[in-house]
Amino acid sequence: MNPALIVILIVAVVLIAVLVVLYFLGKKLQKKQAESEEQMKAAAQTFSILVIDKKKMKLSEANLPKVVLEQTPKYLRRSKVPIVKAKIGPKIMSLMCDAKVFDIIPVKKEVKAVISGIYITEVKGLRSNLEANTSKKGFFGKMKDKFKKNK
């Protein structure tokens, strides 16, 4: 047999094995995510909150409880996450939120938020509807808009 054909067959078998492993790993992680979402929905409560500030910052700088930092995997501790500083009743708290919700949250306004632990999962306007803030766009966002206009 030709040596090149043997090499191609070995590479094909290895690629197929890797794809099969990734398929089953993906299914397992998808089930795990669905279970965690169900738990978050079960523990969710609706609060009226006054949003003081919102930023994307590192977990260590976010003024979150030490338990949260200890439970976070080491490779995620330095990544930036959406943090909302809000007044819930008499307390001022730092909350994490979903990336989709982060764009909608208005600063210095009162909103109704569905909170599960320290995680904001959903936001509704208290007195009016909320819309995503599209005023800040980066370089690539502006280029994409120009490209769509030219088509």
Q: What is the pLDDT tens value at each position of the chain, 151 positions in all?
A: 799 999 999 999 999 999 999 999 999 999 999 998 899 889 899 999 999 999 999 888 888 888 888 888 888 888 899 999 999 989 999 999 988 899 889 899 899 999 998 899 989 886 766 765 556 678 888 888 888 888 7
Whether residue 67 sits in one domain with residue 6:
no
Please state, in angstroms and rounded to a whole number, the distance separating the CA atoms of residues 53 and 50. 9
Confidence at residue 18, expressed as pLDDT on a 0 to 100 scale: 97
Confidence at residue 132, expressed as pLDDT on a 0 to 100 scale: 58
Buried b / exposed e across 13-22, counting CB within 10 Å, b at 16+? eeeeeeeeee
Whether residue 32 sits in one domain with residue 75:
no
Whether residue 91 sits in one domain with residue 38:
no
Strand (E) or helix (H) holding 9: helix 3-42
Whether residue 28 sits in one domain with residue 87:
no
User: Has residue 130 been placed in a domain?
Assistant: no
Whether residue 74 sits in one domain with residue 25:
no
Q: Which residue range(s) make up the domain with 28? A: 1-42
Confidence at residue 86, expressed as pLDDT on a 0 to 100 scale: 94
Q: How many domains does the chain contain in total?
A: 2
* CATH number where 99 lies: 2.40.50
Whether residue 53 sits in one domain with residue 3:
no
Least Cα distance to 85 among 61, 71, 73 occurs for: 61
